[in-house]
Amino acid sequence: MNRLTHSSSPYLLQHQGNPVHWQPWDEQALAAAKAENKLMIISIGYSACHWCHVMEHESFEDEEVARLMNEHFVSIKIDREERPDIDQVYMSAVQLMTGRGGWPLNCIALPDGRPIYGGTYFSKTQWIEVLTQLSELYAKDAGRMREYADKLEEGMKQAEIIAPEPMESFPQALMQTALGQWKGRMDTVHGGPNKAPKFPLPNNYRFLLSQLAKEVSDDLEKHIRLTLDRMCLSGIYDQIGGGFARYSTDAEWKVPHFEKMLYDNAQLIGLYAEAYRMFGESMYRRVAEETLGWSLRELRDASGLFYSALDADSEGEEGLFYTWSAEEIQSLIADHQDLDIDRWFLLDEGEEWEGRFILQRRGSDQQVQKSRSWTEDGFHERWTAVREALLAQREKRIRPGLDFKVLCSWNAQMVSALCSLYEATLDPGHRALAQQTFHALVEQMRTKEGLAHSWAKGSPYGSAMLDDHAFLIRAALDVHRISGEEAPFLQAVDWMEEASRLFHDPESPLLWYSTDEDLVVRTKENEDNVIPASNSTMARNYRDLGLLSGKAEWIARARAMTAAVAERFGGYPESYSNWGFLLNDYSYGSNELVIVGPDAEAKYREVLSSGTAGLLLSWTDRPSDLPAFVHRWKEGSTLFYLCEEGACQMPVSSWAEVKQMMAKAQ
């Protein structure tokens, strides 16, 4: 056993028995590199990563490779989900050196931690060759390596600099130009981007839904619906268990990388819920609730929080748990002739992937229902029977590995998703689950030092990053909105003040990602990826919380942050879609709606039932001293206050009147 044996990370524990003398990232390991004057191998991955497993089996379990690593290097293994701040530093370096990134991420660094070489997956032969050449070069000409490290470090620092000229105004033309570029990169046949591999990128489609709420666009609606339909009917969606794989390796959403991540599925629950609320398509609600069902069944801990991920592999083979042989399919068809299994799924000759079937639906819920003249209830009854039969058979297999650590930011995203699902369905069970999860998260992630980043085996650990604060503030605002409770709002204010202090950069409106000032380069997370950037999420928090609390400095901070990156949105909106929500509000205008009175909850539900989107909602059914409600309570009356940028019109007593006011303002 090496020094990873006492880790909390399942990924690090996977490597505890390697012959490589792995060390965690800590003072002991960093001091050893300097004391022994050895290059460092900084190897970063995560437990559900298929190619991480491949490289481990080929190289890190190999005695020959281990001898080379142990003799000439100090080898450090990092879970990117535990230390995303370190991952950001070395990912930036590898992307500058090679033009691409990914995991496993393997970076060679000087004893002081500055990177000099890196890449992703290496075969055993490649890895031995790289390590041999670098160790020989360091012995002969360390000065040359230091010169290169100086240049690379400067490049990494330059990459963190945002354009010095902020945008002073946000015209609608900026949005139209950006969307025009985006449309040119859309796949009009299968949905999503016109390339492979394809990632779901749920925030992109949540932004496009918000754009539809600002400006009607048949082309945009068609693309959104095409993408959502193709994703949930194809192989990237687990048709019988629920939940989405991380991405599709092809352009048709058919062949996934089979790992299932909490952050993807939380966001996709929210996306499909919002699409159901906007379009009324029952299939979207089904997919959101099936995905929630999978999350509860396979990821939820007894504490009420959610684990991080399920592995892509089982029994050493990627996708084995989720795919079916032709013999298994024929046996199922014979055993369940009443279910017409072969009529539900694409099981024709030529549909196999590596000799096995990935289940894909033959048609949408509506198409199947119409073709068989079923009622909606009849469809769901038969679909449930099919899923249960196949799921019972699949449960007999050896399961993929579970990453049992809990991450604050990912669980906060699940809270927000549950809030969206409640607002789309008005199912009180979804609201109760959102509140329970939020309260469990707040309780479990507290330490004496403050908010924690991770939790495992009953204990929180690791300092919270900016995204932990950002998504927790967003979750608190969402819980406040669906419940009318004051406590989450007050917690959001406290966390906002704490984050503003911890991650403050006196030279920029944007915030640092972590509090660790000893890393080679201190990073800011500004670009939205599969997970929205912590800075874009904080900017939205500053605006929303500023408007609800009356804090002008927060409202101004949100605008300054958006101004700093607006030019980048104009060039590549797909990578800045979370900033797009703010740009939408600044370009088209936005409204806040405050409902105060004994019937406020019923009125709030009426607003939700209308399908109206894009409002910053807040309500209370009791007297309150919160800034949005103070001095607005009138005994026996329930009133609507429609506001724009904090300036409110005279109150009215019905939702119909509010809609008339909004129509006149357009």
User: What residue spans define the domains of the chain?
Assistant: 3-159, 196-404, 591-665
DSSP secondary structure letters along 564-605: HHHHHHHH-GGGSHHHHHHHHHHHH--EEEEEESTTHHHHHH
Pairing of strands 73-79, 39-45: parallel
Q: Return the pLDDT at 664.
A: 83
| Phi, psi (degrees; rounded to nearest 5) at 104 | -70, 145
E strand or H helix at 459, and its extent?
A: strand 459-463
Query: Which token pair is 35?
Result: 């004391």
8 A C-beta contact, residue 163 and residue 130: no
Does residue 163 have a pLDDT over 70? no
Measured distance CA(430)–CA(416) in Å, rounded? 11
Q: Return the pLDDT at 665.
A: 74
Looking at this protein, which amino acid is placed at residue 171?
A: P
Q: Which range, of 291-300, 447-456, 461-470, averages the lowest pLDDT?
A: 447-456
Q: Return the pLDDT at 223.
A: 97
Q: Return the pLDDT at 521.
A: 92
Cβ-based neighbour number of residue 429 at 10 Å: 11
Does residue 419 have a pLDDT over 80? yes
Residues 117-123: what's their mean pLDDT? 96
CA angle, residues 553, 554, 557, in degrees to nearest 5: 85
Q: Return the pLDDT at 164.
A: 64
At the fourth CATH level, the homologous superfamily of domain 3-159 is: Glutaredoxin (3.40.30.10)
Measured distance CA(185)–CA(327) in Å, rounded? 41
Q: Is 363 exposed, middle or buried (0-12, 13-18, 19+ CB in 10 A)?
A: middle
Does residue 611 have a pLDDT over 90? no
Q: Which residue has the higher pLDDT, 438 or 449?
A: 438
CA angle, residues 78, 107, 94, in degrees to nearest 5: 115
Residues 340-348: what's their mean pLDDT? 92
Closest by CA to 657, choosing from 577, 595, 571, is 595
76-105: per-residue pLDDT in tens?
Answer: 999 999 999 999 999 999 999 999 899 999
Closest by CA to 551, choosing from 620, 510, 492, 597, is 492
Q: Return the pLDDT at 216.
A: 84
Residue 242: which pLDDT band, with cuts at 50, 70 and 90? Answer: very high
Looking at this protein, which amino acid is placed at residue 491?
A: Q
Residue 458: which pLDDT band, with cuts at 50, 70 and 90? Answer: confident
Pairing of strands 313-314, 317-318: antiparallel
Q: Return the pLDDT at 461.
A: 94
Instruction: Give the list of residues 6+ apart from residue 58 with CB closer than 8 angstroms, or none.
Output: 123, 124
Closest by CA to 616, choosing from 493, 489, 476, 478, is 478
Q: Return the pLDDT at 165.
A: 78
Q: Return the pLDDT at 271.
A: 98
Measured distance CA(258)–CA(401) in Å, rounded? 12
Measured distance CA(186)–CA(208) in Å, rounded? 12
Measured distance CA(433)–CA(430) in Å, rounded? 5
CA angle, residues 128, 132, 133, in degrees to nearest 5: 120
Does residue 30 have a pLDDT over 90? yes
8 A C-beta contact, residue 598 and residue 224: no
Does residue 397 have a pLDDT over 90? yes
Question: Mean of the per-residue pLDDT values for the chain?
Answer: 95
